[in-house]
Amino acid sequence: MGHLRRPRAGAPRLGRGRPLTAPAAAGPLVRLLGDKLGDATSELWTDEDTVEVQVPGDKIVDTLRTLRDDPDFGFFFLADAAAVDYGVGERFEVVYHLYSDKHPTWLRVRVPVDRENPLTPTVTGLWEGAMFHEREMYDMMGIVFEGNRDLRRIYMSPDYRSFPQRKDFLLPDDAADSPAAGNMPLERPETWDLTRLQDAAAHRDEPGGPV
Partner 1 sequence: MTTTRKRPGAEKAPAKPTPKRASTRRKAAPADDEPRIRDPLELEAALEAAPGDESLRPETTRPEFYGFDIVPPPDRPPQTEREREVYTLGDGEMLVNMGPQHPSTHGVMRLVLKVRGEVVIDLDPVLGYLHRGIEKLCENATYTTVLTYVDPMDYMSAMHNEHAPALAFEKLYGIKAPRRAEYIRALVVELNRVFSHGLMMGFLALDLGGLTPILYGFINRDQVVDLLSSISGQRMLFNFFRVGGVNFDVNDEFLSRLGKWRAGVLDTIEMNEKILTENEIFGARTKGLGVLTAKDAISLGVTGPNLRASGVPFDVRKAHPYPPYPELEFDVITQQGGDTYARYMQRVAELKQSIHLIDQIVDRMPHGPVQAQVPGIIRPKPGRAYAAIESPRGLYSVYAISDGGPNPYRFRMRDPSFITLQVMPKLMPGHLIADTMAVMASLDPIMGGVDK
Partner 2 sequence: MDQGLIDLLLGVGRFVLATTFLLLLTVPTAFIVGQMELKIMAQMQLRYGPNRVGPWGMFQSAVHGFKMLAKEDQTPDRADVPTFTLAPYMVFMAAAMSMLVIPFAPGIVAIDSEIGVIYFFAVIGLSVVGMLLAGWASYNKYSLLGGLRSAAQMVSYEIPLTLSIVGLVVLTGSLSFTHIVEWQLEHGWAVIWQIIGFPIFFIAAAAEINRTPFDMVEADSEIVAGPFTEYSGMRFGFFYFAEYVALFIMCAIMVTLFFGGWLAPWPFPAQLEGFAGTVYGLFWFFLKTYLFVIVAVWVRATLPRVRVDQLMGASWKVLLPLALVNLFVTAIVVLALNL
Q: What is the dihedral of CA 16, 92, 98, 103, to 10 degrees?
A: -20
102 binds, among partner 2, partner 1, none (CB under 5 to 8 A by kind): none
User: Of 159 and 205, which has the nearer Cβ to partner 2?
Assistant: 205
If we measure between CA atoms, which residue out of 189, 184, 137, 142 comes closest to residue 163?
A: 142
Binding to partner 1 by CB under 8 A, coded x per residue (else -) over 121-140, reads ------xxxxxxx--x---x
User: Of 35 and 206, which has the nearer Cβ to partner 2?
Assistant: 206
In the region spanning residues 18 to 77, those forming contacts with partner 1, defined by CB under 8 A, are 47, 49-50, 52, 76-77
Per the CB < 8 A criterion, the answer to whether 126 and 68 are in contact is yes
- The count of other CB atoms within 10 Å of the CB of residue 47 is 16
Binding to partner 1 by CB under 8 A, coded x per residue (else -) over 149-188, reads xxxxxxxxxxx-xx-xx-xxx-----xxx-xxxxxxxx-x
If we measure between CA atoms, which residue out of 43, 53, 167, 60 comes closest to residue 120?
A: 60
Binding to partner 2 by CB under 8 A, coded x per residue (else -) over 146-185, reads ----------------------------------------
Choose, by CB under 8 A, the member of 5, 158, 204, 207 that binds partner 2: 204
Instruction: Return the beta strands (E) in the chain as ranges.
Output: 42-46, 50-54, 77-85, 92-99, 106-113, 119-121, 144-146
The CA distance from 180 to 63, in Å, is 41
Choose, by CB under 8 A, the member of 43, 87, 114, 119 that binds partner 1: 87
